[in-house]
Chains A and B, each alone.
Chain A
Amino acid sequence: MQKPHTFDRFLIQRLGISFISLVAALTMIPIIVVFGYIIFRGAPAISWQFLAAMPRDGMRAGGILPAIVGTFYLTLGTAVFSVPIGIAAAIYLSEYARENWITRLIRIAIINLAGIPSVVYGLFGLGLFVLFLKFGTSILSASLTLSIMTLPVIISAAEEALRAVPQSFRTVSISLGGTRWQTIRKIVLPQALPGIITGVILGLERAAGETAPILFTGAAFFLPHLPNSPLDATMALPYHLFVISTQVPGMPIQIQYGTALVLIVFVLGMNIAATVIRSRARAKRQW
């Protein structure tokens, strides 16, 4: 009487597990194919020339230096604004805030900032920084826009890292006479630093790859020289890829794939750096 029942269940299990494994494989395969394809078609374009020279001939030849430098400046600009504010906000939430309605409101606000579409950020940046504050289409406007977008990522990651530090660390420090800020600065923050850095890098990775927020706030189709000041507009890798794949006739396909490759290496390099920092920190953790 029991045997057919058992037979059924295990057969279902084997089928089910095979099915789920298939689903997972179907998810993984496109990922590998996408990366592999871009690497395969983009690698031939990569040379020192490509990375370090200015574009020529209507951007159909030469290099993509201004786009690379531009993305670098934008990422830096984003970090300058979002990192201090983000970490400070995380410290507030983790160390100072009480669980009242205002704190809950802050958390809701953070979740909402994280969910706002990137093009709405672009709209907001256009309205506030470019037009209202008259910063114009500039690295400054674009960085400010990107940093508000990056803020929730940094705050969430930093807060989680701070909370992970055991309460006993703080208790001991205070019992030895330290003030709250001294405790944070000398004990909690250093311990949480790897987690915070991971969050910062992941946040900046997203900022580096975004196109919509910089479309109206800082990106330029072509500039004859590298940007000299934060009030200059700039070329940037994601916008450059968009432009050369849709706006320029006769663009060699090699350059398009090469640019795509450079962009994903830049962005994913940050991703890998963050992962490495995270796992090494986990190994070295003192608790």
Chain B
Amino acid sequence: MRLNRFILVLLLALLAACGSSTTHSSSGSQTTAYIQNKGSDTIVNLALAWAEKYQSEHPDVSISVTGGGSGTGIAALLNKTVDIANASRQMQAEEIKQAKANGFDPVEFVIARDAIAVIVNPSNPVSQLTMQQISDIYSGKIDNWSQVGGENRPIVRLSREVNSGTHVYFRDTVIRLGDPKNKTLFATDTLLLPSSEGIISEIRQNPNAIGYDGLGYVPADLKKVAVARNAGGPYVLPSIATVNDKSYPIARDLYMYTAGQPTGAIKAYLDWIVSPEAQTIVANLGFVPIK
């Protein structure tokens, strides 16, 4: 019957797909070490570039990379469903406590450094802001660009999602100006976009928008704002140099966490990540190498 033939064709197609999958993975079918890497969306593209380079040199290792936010990666590490968690913030006290309760000590590795750029649309005349001004913009105290020297336009605040390490870092360092007692929050109408790229594409076409993102995510055609720690101080643009000499105030370390001390393939991978070869990739992607 016609139907039988149709089903037969479908099954053959399925087998063909299975066949092609085996040829693809046959190169890794001997002792394949499988590393699962999950977490920060800031780090995800860097992690992907690393995974690709490492796998091309070590075909017996297979690395899968997923994003979801620093919180996601750490949660997965606590649930023991990943080998390496990527985080753009440090693990918090409760998370470390949870890890110990689940039977392991998390081990922290600094794998790169990152500057958080404050970005605006290229047509926006504002080129410099103090930390206090940025804090007031994001907490809602300043609503219009004219209040900071720009045009008469409403300010549209863009932010990463609450599960993003970048979000948490920005809140603590910029909005709360590094004061742990400060409990200021983002203005309620801040757009919490689910990805870094979402922020970029909105700023690219919206002259009212302000956002923040890891330097590695900011393409050359967007305008970075020079930031000063205090009203009188020098206004500094983010770059590898200003991060390393600590003149740019919004810079941070990027981390990878493992459950306990890593061994075997995971250790080899992490050792490679802090090597000069991998750190060149860091610079190529717009982050700051650790040396």
Contact = CB atoms under 8 A, between A and B. Distances in A.
Given A131-B79, A246-B194, A246-B195, 13 more contacts: A69-B20, A136-B81, A221-B67, A222-B48, A225-B62, A226-B24, A228-B25, A233-B64, A246-B198, A247-B67, A248-B197, A249-B196, A249-B219
Q: Interface of chain A, helix or strand or loop or mixed?
A: loop
B63 interface: yes
Interface in B194-218: 194-198, 200, 216-217
Contacts, number: 77
B45 A249 contact: yes
Given A222-B64, A233-B64, A249-B217, A59 B48 contact: yes
Contacts of A250: 219
Give the interface centre of A72, A226, A245 by most chain B CB atoms within 10 Å.
A226
Interface of B: 3, 14, 17, 20-21, 24-25, 28, 41, 44-45, 48-49, 51-52, 55, 62-68, 79, 81, 194-198, 200, 216-217, 219
Contacts of A69: 17, 20-21
A123 interface: no
Q: Bin chain A's interface residue count.
A: 20 to 34
A137 B81 CA distance: 9
B66 A224 contact: no
A220 B64 contact: yes
A38 interface: no
26 contacts: A52-B20, A58-B52, A69-B17, A76-B14, A193-B3, A221-B48, A222-B65, A224-B52, A224-B55, A224-B62, A225-B24, A225-B25, A226-B25, A228-B21, A228-B25, A233-B66, A243-B67, A245-B197, A246-B197, A247-B67, A247-B196, A249-B196, A249-B197, A249-B200, A249-B219, A251-B197
A69 B18 CA distance: 9
Contacts of B45: 58, 248-249
A56 interface: yes
Contacts of B3: 193, 197
Nearest to B213: A249
Nearest to A52: B20
A52 B17 CA distance: 10
Contact of B21 (A57, A137, A227, A233): A227
A110 interface: no
Q: Interface of chain B, helix or strand or loop or mixed?
A: helix
Contacts of B64: 220, 222-224, 233
A224 B63 contact: yes
Nearest to A223: B64
A245 B52 CA distance: 21
A145 B177 CA distance: 45
A21 to B, nearest CB: 36
Contacts of A223: 64
A136 B52 CA distance: 24
A74 B261 CA distance: 36
A212 interface: no
Give the interface centre of B51, B65, B216, B217 by most chain A CB atoms within 10 Å.
B65
A251 B195 CA distance: 14
A226 B17 CA distance: 10
Interface string A52-78: 101011110000000001001000100
A224 B65 CA distance: 9
A56 B28 CA distance: 18
B86 to A, nearest CB: 11
B24 A54 contact: yes
A220 B48 CA distance: 12
Contacts of A137: 81
B66 A222 contact: yes
Nearest to B72: A216
A169 to B, nearest CB: 19
A138 B45 CA distance: 23
Nearest to A76: B14
